[in-house]
């Protein structure tokens, strides 16, 4: 999110600049936090910033439950053509990347003062993946589509209404979410591989099997 400007991001490296305009506070505050961490790197303190993108897996309290809830109520729509590719990372692999950084981070080390994308190193088609999650839960796949432009306009209007009426909850659609769900965003992972020594230990396929078990157990409870 720290470099997301609403446009396609394909094989993006860590050297990409931060946006000059932000679609939401969420990516902006993330970028500010990352800058603070990297600025703190010095001859007395070694810092590194990891960028795990779209963390998912068993126990997820945010993304997976939201997808399942909206899917079960027929409230999901494909934004755009539905062919956009995104990078993501299984939760265990995100933790593994932190251990890699802990092992290598020292004052003056190769990774100090740098940021790194952390992903499965294998992009997926976002909406195919979402439908796979719905299938795991026995929920009908989403097929209906809304154009990316319409979703963006709806998001902007809802943001305005929520702001004027001082509604504290999050709108069902925002400009940021509309862009995130309709654009490519996948990254050049070579730095994490070569400098951090990070290689995902849990494949996306194995992660989905673990997720399926968690969904079954959650439904049983």
pLDDT at 25: 92
Q: Are strands 9-12 and 185-187 parallel, antiparallel or unpaired?
A: parallel
- pLDDT tens digits, residue range 147-191? 999 999 999 999 999 999 999 999 999 999 999 999 999 999 999
Beta bridge partners of 86: 124, 185
Inside any domain, residue 3? no
Inside any domain, residue 2? no
Is 26 a known active-site residue? yes
Torsion of CA 214, 143, 182, 172, to 10 degrees: -70
Q: Domain of 201? A: 9-213
Q: What is the rounded CA–CA span in Å between residue 14 and residue 33?
A: 16
pLDDT confidence band for 1 (50 / 70 / 90): confident
Inside any domain, residue 53? yes
Inside any domain, residue 4? no
pLDDT at 219: 77
Inside any domain, residue 208? yes
- Is residue 221's pLDDT more than 80? no
List 26, 152, 162, 186, catalytic entry: 26
Number of separate domains in the chain = 1
Inside any domain, residue 219? no
- pLDDT tens digits, residue range 153-163? 999 999 999 99
pLDDT confidence band for 218 (50 / 70 / 90): confident
CA angle 116, 97, 190 (to 5 degrees): 45
- pLDDT tens digits, residue range 84-133? 999 999 999 999 999 999 999 999 999 999 999 999 999 999 999 999 99
CATH code of the domain covering residue 125 = 3.40.50.720
């Amino acid at each position: 999110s720290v470099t997301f400007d609403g446009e396609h991001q394909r094989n993006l490296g860590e050297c990409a600049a931060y946006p000059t305009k932000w679609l939401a506070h969420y990516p902006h505050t993330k970028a500010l936090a990352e800058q603070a961490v990297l600025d703190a790197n010095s001859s007395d303190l070694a810092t590194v910033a990891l960028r795990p993108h779209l963390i998912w897996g068993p126990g997820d309290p945010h993304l997976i439950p939201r997808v399942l809830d909206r899917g079960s109520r027929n409230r999901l729509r494909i934004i755009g053509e539905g062919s956009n590719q995104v990078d993501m990372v299984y939760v265990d692999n995100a933790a593994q990347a932190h251990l890699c950084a802990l092992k290598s981070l020292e004052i003056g080390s190769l990774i100090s003062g740098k940021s790194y994308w952390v992903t499965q190193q294998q992009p997926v088609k976002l909406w195919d993946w979402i439908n796979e999650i719905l299938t795991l839960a026995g929920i009908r796949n989403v097929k209906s589509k809304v154009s990316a432009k319409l979703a963006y306009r709806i998001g902007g209007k809802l943001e305005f209404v929520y702001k004027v009426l001082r509604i504290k909850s999050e709108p069902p659609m925002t400009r940021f979410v509309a862009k995130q769900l309709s654009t490519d965003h996948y990254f050049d992972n070579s730095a994490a591989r070569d400098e951090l020594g990070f290689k995902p230990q849990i494949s996306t396929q194995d992660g989905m099997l673990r997720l399926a078990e968690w969904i079954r157990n959650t439904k049983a409870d």
